[in-house]
Structure 1
């Protein structure tokens, strides 16, 4: 019987690339995301590779929907071997410009979405005495980045969640791995949240990220997918992807300088900040 992997945020970007990577490695897929049409299209691509795919439209911020997702997956395949938490939201702007709703949007998806799937699936892993949990975080979960405060908060929380689970679950036969990429060339901008001192500043923040994504050397979803496969295959506790290694090393050596660089890069019209 083939191994089965469940991936959230699987309709596009990193999630879809990871689904195709695991399909090529012989896994059957359970794909979860909010947009049913895109999700089914991703499932069709998996099937073209000769693997079974179950597409379950799911909002992972809703624990009831997540429980239904796990039930349908187990009903279809009988077991889940790997959980890959990937659904996420990018949010950028001055800390004082975010509403509490913005904070909740970020944390509910980036953190609670991961907690919901782990909470629902962990009893299955413990009962079987085996399983793998992969949490796709960000270099923002290793390096604190000014003007990405809610995002970095959520990713640091995912780092803590991942590392604590790794320590606790390893003796129970369950492997936990964190994946830490830098910014990735994908279409995350269509659902990202940008806030600024005014409309012009807000648009400038959007355009700034869009410009970064146009640079040819920016890593692609397929680079993260390969890192996920490496983490699962070789049971790595963490995989830092490509250029994120340089970011982590630079911050470790010169934290003050790197904080200054982030402030200067992302402050834009927030002129109250000392540069």
Structure 2
């Protein structure tokens, strides 16, 4: 029987690239995201590779009842899940005082609670089988504290803690847990990103700045992250820094104050 992987946020960007890669590697796929039409488009691409049709289940991972239904449908369809890849997420940038509590909940509910919901729903299955792999997409923002990205970094530092502590507890039980840490990626990052500023113009400037950065040729692509995820699953690695994230982490370890100063100058815009 083919191994089976469940991928959240699978309709575009990193999730889509990961789905196509794992399909080529012989995995059966469970793909989930909020929009069924986009999921079906990815499913058609998978089938165009000569691979079996994936199971597509629309789901908002911030809703635990929808996640429970997702996992039930996946297990009913395939009988087992070998790998869970938590990928759905949202980026946020701006002065911390510009974010409402609703903004905080939007980011943390998806970036952290979305992961907790899928893990909570699928973990009993993994424990019963005494095997399974959980891959959590974090970010360099979950390793390097960055000014003006406080809300996003909070969510991703939490994902880092979740991942590392799960790894410590579950490894003796046969369950592998890995964190993936990319830098900025040329993906669908901008579609759901939250930007706040001292005024609407400031927020738009921040959006435009990030869009320009994503046009730089050296910025990694979704396929780079997908390859890192495959490496983590195949070789049972507990942590992978993707591409330029290695440079960012290394610089922060050597010169933490300097990196934060540079970040402040580059991201403060109209903020005093």
TM-score relative to the length of structure 1: 0.98
Name the counterpart of 1:12. 12
Shift of 1:45: 1.2
Please give the alpha-carbon distance, in whole angstroms, between the structure 2 residues aligned to 1:193 and 1:208. 14
Please give the alpha-carbon distance, in whole angstroms, between the structure 2 residues aligned to 1:131 and 1:47. 25
Please give the alpha-carbon distance, in whole angstroms, between the structure 2 residues aligned to 1:95 and 1:126. 40
Name the counterpart of 2:89. 88
Shift of 1:48: 2.1
Report 1:123-272 matches (<5 A).
123-270=124-271, 272=272
Please give the alpha-carbon distance, in whole angstroms, between the structure 1 residues aligned to 2:255 and 2:265. 15
Please give the alpha-carbon distance, in whole angstroms, between the structure 2 residues aligned to 1:47 and 1:84. 20
Please give the alpha-carbon distance, in whole angstroms, between the structure 2 residues aligned to 1:131 and 1:120. 13
Name the counterpart of 1:35. 35
Please give the alpha-carbon distance, in whole angstroms, between the structure 2 residues aligned to 1:48 and 1:169. 37
Please give the alpha-carbon distance, in whole angstroms, between the structure 2 residues aligned to 1:44 and 1:173. 34
Name the counterpart of 1:48. 48
Shift of 1:222: 0.1
CA contact under 8 A between 1:27 and 1:51: conserved in structure 2? no
Q: Give per-residue Cα distances to partners, 1:104-155, cap 9 Å, x unaligned.
A: 0000000000000000000000000000000000000000111010100000
Name the counterpart of 2:79. 78
Please give the alpha-carbon distance, in whole angstroms, between the structure 2 residues aligned to 1:137 and 1:10. 16
User: Secondary structure of 2:262's match?
Assistant: helix
CA RMSD across the alignment: 0.6
Please give the alpha-carbon distance, in whole angstroms, between the structure 1 residues aligned to 2:230 and 2:23. 11
User: Secondary structure of 1:160's match?
Assistant: helix
The list of structure 1 runs, each at least 4 consecutive aligned residues, that deviate by more than 6 angstroms after superposition, is: none
Please give the alpha-carbon distance, in whole angstroms, between the structure 2 residues aligned to 1:188 and 1:260. 25
Please give the alpha-carbon distance, in whole angstroms, between the structure 2 residues aligned to 1:249 and 1:16. 29
User: Secondary structure of 2:7's match?
Assistant: strand
Structure 2: which 5+ residue stretches go unaligned? Answer: none
CA contact under 8 A between 1:166 and 1:177: conserved in structure 2? yes
Aligned length: 271
TM-score relative to the length of structure 2: 0.99
Please give the alpha-carbon distance, in whole angstroms, between the structure 2 residues aligned to 1:199 and 1:124. 47
Please give the alpha-carbon distance, in whole angstroms, between the structure 2 residues aligned to 1:110 and 1:139. 14
Name the counterpart of 1:110. 111
